Structure 1
């Protein structure tokens, strides 16, 4: 409880910084899970640079972009009724999510030193599979976002999504770093 209260105080004092750092930390955790539990690299083979890259993406891209998107979405569709939440979820899942993923994967490739040509080839190979990894994920995110937009105050939405996304981030990290 004390940790949660400290998080709330920090969020109230520095909302943007805390949201961005939360996104970065949870993106890093997703990569650690990917390397240790999915890929079974072991601590000796853990690619620390990759984890730092994912944390940097969380702080420099995911946090600002998703956090900014939620603010824009709240201005575009003000309100928290069930209908408002449904509209937000449909815009988020139908428009924002595919565009976001289409930017995320090439950004990972560029940060990992891929040339534009190699990055484009990789994007063509993995993007559709990344968008539809499992039918259950396609059911998960609309439900999560519907609850997020209906029940969660704006300043907590990024953290809620990033907590749920730890497993998704693990998948994206594994998919983005496959040869």
Structure 2
């Protein structure tokens, strides 16, 4: 999450080192450490218990459950937490979520389904979070940019 935010600030927003907002990077790191990592790691363990195995059919089932159920809820929670940590009022946070949610979810669907099918089919459970985090550097850059546009 921290690396994604640094990339967002430096390469996407072109803030430069003097314009880099350190507290924002620290907030994103905290969200990653306290929310994203534990929730996603737990989700993969639950998903593996719900749908055991690693056949192609199982991988597709896991991806559908992941992207159809987990991703929409997770994304809404992420945007809400980010808005709260940015000091938005409940009303402003809700408006920001309504503004950003659909676009973020559609972008999610462009990236994650093929990644997750490969992840669920080829990667053992204990390594799935690491694989996701490699792809997530780009995703977290997008999320940081999206969540911090005011």
Short-chain TM bin: over 0.9
Q: Deviations over 1:62-119 (max 9, x none)?
A: 0000000000000001111111111101100111101100100010000111111110
Residue correspondence of structure 1 range 88-167 to structure 2 within 5 A: 88-133=62-107, 138-167=109-138
CA positional deviation for 1:139: 3.8
User: What is the rounded CA distance, in whole Å, between the counterparts of 1:109 and 1:30 in structure 2?
Assistant: 17
Report the CA distance shift for 1:148/1:92 in structure 2 as closer, same or farther (over 3 A): same
Query: Which stretch shifts more, 124-133 or 27-36?
Result: 124-133
User: What is the rounded CA distance, in whole Å, between the counterparts of 1:139 and 1:170 in structure 2?
Assistant: 15
Residue correspondence of structure 1 range 20-35 to structure 2 within 5 A: 27-35=1-9
Task: Please identify runs of 4+ aligned residues in structure 1 that moved more than 2 A.
Answer: 137-140
Are positions 1:172 and 2:146 aligned together? no
CA positional deviation for 1:140: 2.9
TM-score using structure 1 length: 0.81
User: What is the rounded CA distance, in whole Å, between the counterparts of 2:89 and 2:111 in structure 1?
Assistant: 34
CA positional deviation for 1:141: 1.1
User: What is the rounded CA distance, in whole Å, between the counterparts of 2:67 and 2:103 in structure 1?
Assistant: 16
Counterpart position of 2:43: 69
Are positions 1:53 and 2:27 aligned together? yes
Q: What are structure 2's unaligned runs of at least 5 residues?
A: none
User: What is the rounded CA distance, in whole Å, between the counterparts of 1:56 and 1:152 in structure 2?
Assistant: 27
User: What is the rounded CA distance, in whole Å, between the counterparts of 1:167 and 1:79 in structure 2?
Assistant: 29
TM-score using structure 2 length: 0.97
Work out which of the two has the higher radius of gyration on C-alpha atoms and give 1 or 2.
1
Higher relative contact order (CA 8 A, sep 6+): 2
- 2:67 and 2:109 in contact (8 A); partners too: no
Are positions 1:37 and 2:11 aligned together? yes
Q: Deviations over 1:15-66 (max 9, x none)?
A: xxxxxxxxxxxx1000000000000000011011100111111110000000
